[in-house]
Structure formats: structure tokens, C-alpha cells
Amino acid sequence: MKTHKGFDRLSLIYDLMVKLVFGRVIRESQISLIKQVKNSEKWLILGGGTGWVIEEIFKVHPKVEIAFVEASQKMINRARKRNPNDGVNYILGSIDQIPNGQDYDVVITAYFWDMFETDHAMAMKRSIDEKVKNDALWLSADFRNTDIWWQKKLTKIMYWFFRITCHIEASELPNFDTIFSKQDHKVLFQKSFYYGMIESTLYKRS
């Protein structure tokens, strides 16, 4: 798909590009969530990019098993090179390639849902729910809409860029409150970054 090829092209400069715009905030938003997890055995990472987050997980949870699902082959190549750990199963593809019967107890979707329209994201979320534990922890970090003018402009620029380069389907941020409904999820931890434009949330399925 064109989306995969787009992220292939960005693989060598992706981390640098993110750092130039947001500094360390993107990393800190995810590290803050990883530190909240106390007991875990199997982690599922969706859209993990270049794989730097794997290093951070093993710093805190050195004995866990990780399934790393990524649609870009070049992103997976970079992730595998920086993390040649036997505890990581690198999977090229989408949610359809998530192994069954693994009972993942932690899921990470960081800057993942923002590529999809809300209805599609909800359908994907339901499919993923079938492959994780009923009481799984869900680590979600992503952009949020604000009333600050420069953040609105920055969000529009990001969508313009990624729609052109990677052909993502979304043109605006999805409704996260719909994806993670209060009826099905309890918020255990939440923290805002970058003047409210980024929000990290630790959910527990109820």
C-alpha cells in the first residue's frame, strides 16, 4: 500500500524530523506511560516505527515478551537492528497479522490512531480487543485538538504532509473518547504535554 511505502521513505529521517519539531516530548509522552506499568508479561506494540520504544520498555521491564507490529518494512529493519533481542517478535503488516492466543496484557498505540478516521479506528479497536486480555492495560499517546491557534495550524500542516507523503486516510484527529469509551475503559493515569496538544493516557479495560 502507498501508506507503507511512504513510511519506508521516511524511515531514515523520521526520528530526526520528529525531534526537530517536538524535541523530546514525543518520547517523554510514551516513557511516562511505560513507567506506570507494574506487572506484565506480554506487550503488543502497534505502529512502533523505528523501535526506540522497545529499548525503553526493556529498561523498566527486562523480562517481557513483545510483539512489534509495523506496516513499514524499512521501519522494522531499523527496529530490529537497534533491538536484536530474542524477546521481540517483529511482525510486518497490520492488525490482521497479530498472532492469536497470546493474551497480551499491555498494548501500546502511540501516534497510531491519528492516521485513521474514527469509524475505522473503532473497528480496528474492536478487532484488537479480541486478541488481548479482558483486563489489559492500554497505553495511548497522541495529539489532541486545542483552541490554541498555532497548534491548530501545526495539526493541519502535519495532516497535509502525511497525506501527501504517506497517503494516510485521516484528514483530522479521530474522536478518542469514542475509541476508548468510558463504559469499557477506566483511566488510571493521564498527563498532558506540549501545552495540551499531546495527551498520554493509561487505560484499563473494564
**Buried b or exposed e, range 162-182, using 16+ CB within 10 angstroms:** beeebebebeebbebeebbee
Q: What is the bridge-based pairing of β-strands 42-46 and 65-70?
A: parallel
Banded pLDDT at 3 (limits 50, 70, 90) = low
Task: Show Cβ contacts of residue 70 under 8 Å, excluding neighbours closer than 6 positions.
Answer: 47, 48, 49, 76, 79, 90, 91, 92
Query: Could you give the CA distance from residue 7 to residue 202 in angstroms, rounded to a whole number?
Result: 27
- The cell for 75 is 521501519
- Does residue 1 carry a pLDDT above 60? no
Per-residue confidence (pLDDT) for residue 205, from 0 to 100 = 85
The structural domains of the chain, with segments of one domain joined by +, span: 2-205
Fold (CATH) for 2-205? Rossmann fold (3.40.50)
Position with higher pLDDT, 183 vs 150: 150
Q: Residues of the chain with pLDDT > 70: what percent?
A: 99
- The cell for 142 is 497522541
Q: How far apart are the first and last CA of the chain?
A: 35
pTM over 0.85: yes
Cα distances from 52 to residues 33, 42, 44, 97, 114, in angstroms, run: 15, 18, 15, 21, 20
Per-residue confidence (pLDDT) for residue 36, from 0 to 100 = 97
Per-residue confidence (pLDDT) for residue 2, from 0 to 100 = 59
